[in-house]
Structure 1
Amino acid sequence: MPKPPPSPAPDAPQQPANMPASAAPRNEYTVDELARVSDTTVRNVRAYQDRGLLAPPEKRGRVGVYDDTHVSRLKLINHLLARGYTLANIQDLIKAVDEGHDLRSILGLETAIGGRWSREHPRKYSLIELLQMFGDKASPAALAKAVDLGLLERDGLSFVSASPTALAAGATLAKEGIPLADLLEAVGAARPHFSVVAKALVDLVVRQLDRYDPDALPPPADVPALVDAIWRVRPLAMVLVESEMNRALEEASGDYLGDRVAAIMAKKLGESGAKPSIARPTGTKKTRKQ
């Protein structure tokens, strides 16, 4: 796995233009990781480099190191291919950009809008490692469900997780007694809602472009401030998600706790012959609305 980048030396290459150092931390990838996070193949990465569509990696000894500018360029290529452009068309476009035509204005926006939101790197796990993490709960059915959900990806006899942190959290929950099947079902049920939230957050970021003509690039003079604004919005959007998730969890757990305690007390009072007039505990959603 790649290590965090060291502090740059005085003569080290600077970050790409229009990307504030404080707002745009640099992720680094091997060619395998780059292909995985960009939803392409190593073969395609090599082919795009040969055609001049993708800049070569930074060489550190014999290892090529890629970064988020490569991820953004690959996402752009994938997007244009999906819209019916040929590689020749895309090559002409990239050539125009690299030669400094007006399309250069879009380069700063490539990474600001299309760059990855997560700083996690994929990690490969052997079946033995997964069994050590999940025990006998890592059944073939559970592994197949995790692959279907995209939480794991098969790589020969091993598995790759795009989010090792989430996988570790799932292992901890499983060890606490939560059935793995129930946990995977909860992830599948929650995913459409997260997709709606993600769409809303991306809209917040992209809305920075709404003041410009949809069919035209922003004026080059506006691009630095625009890109800087987008980089500031991205982490704030994540803060909003965490805050709202915490609020929703507090309400959901408060409601459940109130209902469960009320049911237990009603049963106890019924057994003792007392009149089961139960007031809900304070702090729940229903109590606050009264």
Structure 2
Amino acid sequence: MVEYRVDELARVAGTTVGNVRVYQDRELLPPPERRGRVALYSDAHLARLRVILGLLKRGYTFAQIREMLTTWQSGRDLEDLLGLEQVLASPWSDEPTERVALADLLAEFRDHAVDDEAIARLVRLGVFTHDGPAHVLVRSPRLLHAGRELLAAGVPLPTLLEIAEQVRWQTDQLAAMFLRMVDEHVVPGRDTGWTPSTDDLPALTEQARTLRPLAQSTVTAFLAKSMSRALSDWFAERFGPLSQQHYPEQR
């Protein structure tokens, strides 16, 4: 189970530490687990926080949200709500996280001028999160591996980070496009003030769960086709007739 300090929880959820504390004071968010002087939050807190933020964006007051959460928190209603929360909060990847000493990471990439600013950009990209002053949690070992390979191939770190940020922005746009499609065609006819009833929760949970593989497979398939076309064009431009022996036209 992933654990978060309050600043990490706020960053992952896209809010502020002050807001997290306000939601706790208003009894919308359960208190964290205390280990000595350290307060630790779980994925369940992250899921609940995202539900709260979503309802606030729709214009609900703290009192209305507290009433809805209280109503939901009884018997099977709570199970349904937690099921939806879990789908919303769980990562869209089966990658295991890895805990790495920050000093080891800096030593590994010492030839590439990895500094505090580079680490901060990687945190914003979701590759790492801080785990205390001396360690980081690698949230995406695949992205870290890809970065290692590209650096080894000669791509400068500033260029790599810039491209990663562009890809992140573009994938955010793709995600928003998929959700607009869902909003317009899967759950149509709902005004902006609508919130699901307990009877709606199981169907919404299943729709959210189904969306994941469909969105991922669609993007992966189109990216594969685009890379095939782009590689063929690049090879033809750089190496001329030789390319036809290796990359017949693919459209």
**CA deviation after TM superposition for structure 1 residue 74, in Å:** 0.4
Q: Are 2:171 and 1:171 equivalent residues in the alignment?
A: no
Quote the RMSD (CA, aligned, Å). 4.3
The 8 Å contact of residues 105 and 220 in structure 1, kept in 2 or not, is answered as: yes
Residues 112-166 of structure 1, C-alpha deviation per residue, up to 9 Å, x if partnerless?
A: 45654345576665542222332320343xx525524623567756666543431
Within 2, Cα distance between the matches of 1:93 and 1:221?
A: 13
Q: Name the aligned partner's letter for residue 210 of structure 2.
A: R
3-state DSSP class of the match of 1:281?
Answer: helix
Confirm or deny: 8 A CA contact 1:57 1:65 kept in the other structure: yes
User: Which residue identity lines up with residue 253 of structure 1 in the other structure?
Assistant: L
2:217 corresponds to 1:254? no
Does the 8 Å contact 2:232/2:250 carry over to 1? Answer: no
Q: Is the 8 A contact 2:229 2:250 kept in 1?
A: no
Partner amino acid, structure 1, of 2:222? E
Q: Answer whether contact 2:121 2:161 (CA < 8 A) is retained.
A: no
| Residues 1:119 and 1:248: Cα distance change in structure 2 (over 3 Å) | same
**Residue 205 (structure 2) aligns with:** 227
Q: Which range is displaced more, 166-175 or 244-253?
A: 166-175
Is the partner of 1:243 in helix, strand or coil? Answer: helix
Which structure has the larger Rg? 1
Is this contact kept in 1: 2:101–2:134, CA < 8 A? yes
Q: Pick from 130, 146, 153 the counterpart of residue 105 of structure 2.
A: 130
Task: Supply the AA of the counterpart residue of 2:208.
Answer: I
Residues 1:144 and 2:117 are matched in the alignment: yes
Following superposition, the deviation at residue 256 of structure 1 comes to: 0.8
Would the aligned equivalents of 1:201 and 1:237 in 2 still touch at CA under 8 Å?
yes
Provide the secondary structure at the position in 1 that maps to 2:42.
strand
Task: Note closer, same or farther for the CA distance 1:234–1:205 as it changes in structure 2 (3 Å cut).
Answer: farther
**Structure 1 runs, 4 residues or longer, greater than 6 Å off:** 41-44, 57-60, 62-65, 102-107
Corresponding position of 1:72: 47
Letter in 2 for 1:250: S
Q: Which amino acid aligns with 1:30?
A: E
Quick check: 249-258 or 188-197, which moved more? 188-197
Deviation string for 1:175-198 (max 9, x for gaps)?
Answer: 232221221222233333222212
Matched residues, percent identical?
33
Does the 8 Å contact 2:29/2:48 carry over to 1? yes
- In structure 1, what is the equivalent of residue 69 of structure 2? 94
| SS of residue in 2 equivalent to 1:53 | coil
- Residues 23 and 29 in structure 2, CA contact (< 8 A), matched pair in contact too: yes
Q: Please point out which of 190, 202, 206 is paired with 2:167.
A: 190
**Residue in 2 aligned with 1:243?**
221
Cα contact 1:31–1:42 (8 A) shared by 2:
no
Q: Are residues 76 and 220 of structure 1, via their aligned partners in 2, closer, same or farther at CA, if it must alter by over 3 Å?
A: closer
Q: State whether residues 208 and 226 of structure 1, in contact with CA within 8 Å, keep that contact through their aligned partners in structure 2.
A: no
Q: State how far apart, in whole Å, the 2-side matches of 1:153 and 1:59 are.
A: 20
Q: Post-superposition shift, 1:204?
A: 4.4
Structure 1, gaps ≥5 residues long: 1-27, 263-277
TM-score normalised per structure 2: 0.69
Aligned length: 241
Question: Equivalent residue for 1:3?
Answer: none
Q: Helix, strand or coil for the counterpart of 1:117?
A: coil
Q: SS in structure 2 opposite 1:187?
A: helix
| Separation (CA, whole Å) in 2 of partners of 1:104 and 1:198 | 27
Cα distance change of structure 1 residues 117 and 205 upon mapping to structure 2, 3 Å threshold: farther
- Aligned pairs (5 A) from 1:1-290: 28-32=1-5, 34-40=9-15, 48-49=23-24, 51-55=26-30, 66-67=42-43, 69-81=44-56, 87-98=62-73, 109-113=84-88, 116-118=91-93, 125-140=100-115, 143-145=116-118, 147-148=120-121, 150-151=124-125, 156=133, 162-207=139-184, 209-214=186-191, 215-217=193-195, 220-262=198-240, 278=241, 281=244, 284=247, 287-288=249-250
Contact 1:147/1:153 (CA < 8 Å) preserved in 2? Answer: no
